[in-house]
Chain A
Amino acid sequence: MSNITDLKLVELVDKIKKKELSSTEVTIAFIERSKKSKKLNAYISENYESAIKKAKIFDQKPDFKKKLPGIPIAVKDLFCTKNIKTTAGSKILENFIPTYESTVTQNILDEGGIIIGKLNCDEFAMGSSNETSYFGNVQNPVSENLVPGGSSGGSSSALAAKLTPATIGTDTGGSIRQPASFTGTVGLKPTYGSCSRYGIVAFASSLDQAGPMTHDVKDCSLMFEIMSTYDTKDSTSVDFKRENYFTNLNENIKGKKIGIPKEYRVDGMPKEIDELWEKGIKIIKENGGQIIEISLPNTNYALPTYYIVAPAEASSNLARYDGVKYGFRSKGENLIDMYEKTRSEGFGDEVKRRIMIGTYVLSSGYYDAYYLKAQKVRRLIKNDFDEAYKKVDAILTPSTPSSAFKIGEKLNDPVSMYLNDIFTVPINLAGLPAISIPAGHDKKGYPLGLQVIGKAFDEQSILNIAFALEKNISFKNNITDWWIK
């Protein structure tokens, strides 16, 4: 069964339910492939032995009513997992083993999922290329020395390389959708409040949202259905009626009004991306959808707003990593000295940069000019979407302004790195759901994605639209297994 790892999530679930495959066979197949793929550096922690044990236990008494019956899955190392090391890609949590499980991973476990490992990511999810991880770069399986995107770069790499049949990431400004776009995979950032943040190492609390990353939209709908639950342990979790996203998935988009925001046509965007966008528009029209030009006038302010709000929250969220209670501690002459040494040695450059920015924008005398103003602009950006949704059901844009870049290419140019999030960040600021699906390749052969943005809590609509696009695009990821000798 050398092709187990070629199967998609829903196919694996089906085969296990039909007893054509056992959980043990599937689990071992993905673990074996993961073992051969160390060169990608997608994993931070491996949980292979324990996973195989759990698969065997599942097979002894299989419960086929579960939505993920004995399915192995590797998850981003930002999710706290009970008894499995959780680092957030940082030295400061290098040896941190939680005694608790995040709600989202618990939901996966409750449906029969088995965690085979923890995936690399940018340190505290701060980055767009996975290059800020204390545990090193991750290779994009698409091509050697190409970044897999970030911050969920280990997740996108592992998924595209078929080391896990599906995975989960977190998205604060594009950290699911951008890596999905860079690796030719599907990534969904749900509405803020849809998936619980309990047990996820916090980056920017008002923006963070967990979501699925999968090979196709069908897998995505299944994962999302499992992940999204109302959780009283997270005060920002929203108690709305959740759909059976998987069973309700259909490609009928007849009569759907899709908005095309003119502000997303940015200067210097590669021609291929424009063409891809046109292709998407054409598909929607051919399938009975209606294309409507819209305006999101405050789009230009999204990135600066984001780079005030997110670092502000991060500077406070990361204050708890002080060497006192858990994690890395450096010896100091006194308390202040210990703090300074611990945090200087424990955090990487990008994290420090954002703590500095965040501390600055919250400082007295600067608060009104930066943080408060950013909150006001954030409201305007949300209003833009509210206005647009009076006319349309969803919005179609490119996922990123470029395809994946080379490792090291933008490392010393933070602003150029931040510009990567230009199409994804406004959605986080507005708290809306958006999905990125692979839509084609650029002339280098690197994947490019399209993004469908929805109304709050209307994930079903964007899943359906993405499903219709996917069927008509018939994207094929040409990954050659170059990293396996």
Chain B
Amino acid sequence: MSKNNGEYLIIRNDNKYEVIIGLEVHAQVLSESKLFSTSSTKFGSEPNTQVSLVDAAFPGMLPVINEHCIKQAVKTGIGLKAKINKRSIFDRKNYFYADLPQGYQISQYKNPIVGEGSVILDMPNGEKNIGIERLHLEQDAGKSIHDIDPQNTLVDLNRSGVALMEIVSKPDLRSLDEVNAYIKKLRSIMRYLGTCDGNMQEGSLRADVNVSVRKKGDKKLGTRCEIKNVNSIKFMQMAIDFEANRQVDLIEEGGSIDQETRLFDTKKNETRSMRSKEDAHDYRYFPDPDLLPLELNDNFIDQIKKDIPELPDEKKKRFIEKFKLSPYEANILVSDIEISKYFEEVSKNSDVKLATNWITGELFALLNEKNIEITESPISSKNLSKLINLIKDGTISGKIAKSVFEIMRDGDKDPITIVDEKGLKQQSDPKELENLINKVIAENPKNVEAYKSGKDKLFGFFVGQVMKNSNGKANPKLVNEILKKKLN
């Protein structure tokens, strides 16, 4: 494998293979209730406590579209710069499984709610555009649990009927890094929009991964395999890497790829065949006669457009223009909506450069160490802003600020109070500083002698002594100035 120039190629016997990846991301719609029923979607409840008669497919029960979920899908479509289809159709995808109570999943087949769009990735060697094929709404199934009872499979229907958006990319992804960037960007856009919380641990974001390989330079796409239901970026990358290598090995051995559905075994780090094309389900899709075609009018779409917040791409542009941030800094700050909010709150009342450095430096280190999100930060944006202002107006030095920060992290105390209580205020009175300096000069005649005879390096020694005697509070800039005058 080589990753030169950001290219992800698999090399065997002088043959270079390109890896073609497309993702079908299943994103859970952020909604209090399910796609076609009023039951709650809350995660982590006792099994089968959030199940209505509709979700359990009792006789005579009928689906009723949840308007909120439609709005969320349209909103996401707008965020993906995609075509919103004013007429879409819910179809039945028929198959039998114990956790599929209706015996069919209500999904959208030929007429999805959202059509083609695109997502921009910021890669190290520039921007890359990834095409979106479509976005459609569908119901989630329940959960079959095989490992509680030795004899029986248990079924939990809490997830049954929860709204999912399936976002299908074009086969535009070419590397594991792009997959990583794509998922993160999608997640970021949906979090900005408030349409999906993007929580992969809770299964709010999962993906089916389509992988094929072809010799570099070939125009024709190779036969693809679909790896079902991978639930973390790391596993997606591992699965793709395994699968792409498996396909290359097969081709190199003179074999061919069968179009099939595969499973990724996270323990063995390998993909395994689940079913071949011949065994593929015939889902017998047809329009759900219980639901009329979904017709959206311009007014409905326009109202949603009005509610679209500034999205990461626009925000990044603004940060670069308004705050003179580097693209790299801007990227970090806009990647997550909560981080960007925090940054804007801090920078509203204090120096932008310092705000950027403190957030991406000290604060990120702290969040990493505690493994928490910025929304759970022990230091509020208000207090971080105050701390930065104390540095900027010379009340404390950057060094003192770090020790103040250490105190703040254990309870979000106001930095002004900390500085006052601990007496950490910077000594900036020239007369007091002069007294301190005079004392140091008087106590070190030999060094003064040596300095004057040319040992310039000793200047740092005097600064250090003054700082030490002031318990670090002396304004270093002023100390430098006065010392220079005294010694020269």
Residues of chain A having any CB pair with chain B under 8 Å: 79-80, 86, 88, 93, 96, 98-100, 102, 197-202, 204-206, 232-236, 312-313, 315-316, 318-320, 322, 324-326, 335, 339, 359, 362-364, 367, 371
Judge whether B286 and A102 touch: CB under 8 Å: no
List of B residues within 8 angstroms of A335 by Cβ: 97-98, 153
Q: A335-B153, A363-B282 are in contact. Are A320 and B59 (CB under 8 A)?
A: yes
> CB distance A235 to B286 under 8 Å?
no
**Shortest distance from the beta carbon of A407 to any chain B beta carbon, whole Å:** 28
Whether B101 contacts A235 by the Cβ 8 Å rule is no
Q: Would you call B292 and A235 a contact (CB within 8 A)?
A: yes
Q: Beyond A197-B60, A371-B286: 11 further Cβ-contacts under 8 Å?
A: A86-B59, A98-B60, A100-B53, A102-B60, A204-B289, A205-B290, A235-B291, A235-B292, A236-B290, A316-B94, A320-B102
A-B contact pairs, 27 of them (CB 8 A): A80-B58, A80-B59, A80-B60, A86-B59, A98-B60, A100-B58, A197-B60, A198-B60, A198-B61, A198-B62, A199-B60, A201-B59, A202-B60, A235-B63, A235-B64, A236-B291, A236-B292, A319-B96, A319-B102, A320-B59, A320-B102, A324-B155, A325-B58, A362-B94, A362-B285, A363-B282, A367-B285
Encode contact with A along B265-280: 1 for CB under 8 Å, 0 otherwise. Answer: 0000000000000000
Residues of chain B with a CB closer than 8 A to A198's CB:
60-62
B62 — which chain A residues lie within 8 A by C-beta? 197-198, 233-235
Contacts of A199 in B (CB 8 A): 60-61
**Candidates A200, A236, A313, A322; contact of B60 at CB < 8 Å:** A200
Bin the interface of chain B by size. 20 to 34
- Secondary structure call for the A interface: loop
* Distance between A419 CB and nearest chain B CB, rounded to angstroms: 25
A313 to B102, CA, bound (A): 13
B442-473 interface mask toward A, CB cutoff 8 Å, 1 = contact, 0 = none? 00000000000000000000000000000000
State the Cβ distance, B256 to closest chain A Cβ, in Å.
Answer: 24
Q: Which of B104, B153, B282 contacts A364 (CB 8 A)?
A: B282
Q: B419 interface residue, CB < 8 Å from A?
A: no
Write out the residue numbers on chain B whose beta carbons fall within 8 Å of the beta carbon of A233. Answer: 62, 64
Instruction: Please state if A316 and B60 are interface contacts (CB–CB under 8 Å).
Output: no
Tell me the minimal C-beta distance from A482 to chain B in angstroms: 36
Please give the residue numbers on chain B whose beta carbons come within 8 Å of chain A beta carbons, in ascending order: 53, 56-65, 92, 94, 96-98, 101-104, 153, 155, 282, 284-286, 288-292
Contact B103 A362 (CB under 8 A): no
Contacts of A88 in B (CB 8 A): 59
Smallest Cβ-Cβ distance to A208: which chain B residue: B289
B interface: dominant SS? loop
Which B residue sits closest to A79, measured CB to CB? Answer: B60
Known: A93-B59, A319-B103. A312 touches B98 (CB 8 A): no
Residues of A within 8 A of B57 (CB): 320, 325
Please indicate the chain A residues that have their CB under 8 angstroms from the CB of B63 in the complex. Answer: 235
CA of A326 to CA of B103, assembled, Å:
14
With A324-B155, A359-B284 in contact, is A232–B64 under 8 Å at CB? yes
Instruction: Give min CB distance, A125 to chain B, whole Å.
Output: 12
Given the complex of chains A and B, what is the CA–CA distance between A93 and B92 in angstroms? 23
Query: CB-CB < 8 A to B96: which residues of A?
Result: 319, 322, 339
Give, as a whole number of angstroms, the nearest-CB distance from B101 to chain A: 6
A329–B476 CA distance with the chains assembled, in angstroms? 84
The 10 tightest CB contacts between A and B, nearest first, are A319-B103, A205-B289, A362-B284, A206-B289, A199-B60, A320-B57, A201-B59, A80-B60, A205-B290, A320-B103
Q: B104 contacts A98, CB within 8 Å?
A: no
Chain B residues whose C-beta falls within 8 Å of the C-beta of A363 in the assembled complex: 282, 284
Closest Cβ neighbor of A86 among chain B residues = B59
Interface centre among A234, A236, A320, A362 (most CB of B within 10 A): A320
Docked-complex contact B59 and A325, CB < 8 angstroms: no
Task: Kindly state the separation between the CA atoms of A205 and B291 in the bound complex, as whole angstroms.
Answer: 10
Q: How far, in angstroms, from A477 to B291 measured CA to CA in the complex?
A: 42
Bound CA span A364–B93, Å: 12
- Whole-angstrom distance from the CB of B99 to the nearest CB of chain A? 9
Structural contact, B59 and A316, CB atoms closer than 8 A: no
A102 to B102 CA separation, bound complex (whole angstroms):
19
8 Å CB contact of B104 from A79, A93, A316: A316
In the complex, the answer to whether A324 meets B59 with C-beta atoms within 8 Å is no
Q: What B residues does A79 contact at CB under 8 A?
A: 60
CB pair B101 A325 closer than 8 Å: yes
**Across-interface contacts of A312 in B (CB, < 8 A):** 286
How far is A215 from B190 in the complex, measured between Cα atoms in Å? 61
Residue in A98, A206, A362 whose CB lies within 8 Å of B59: A98
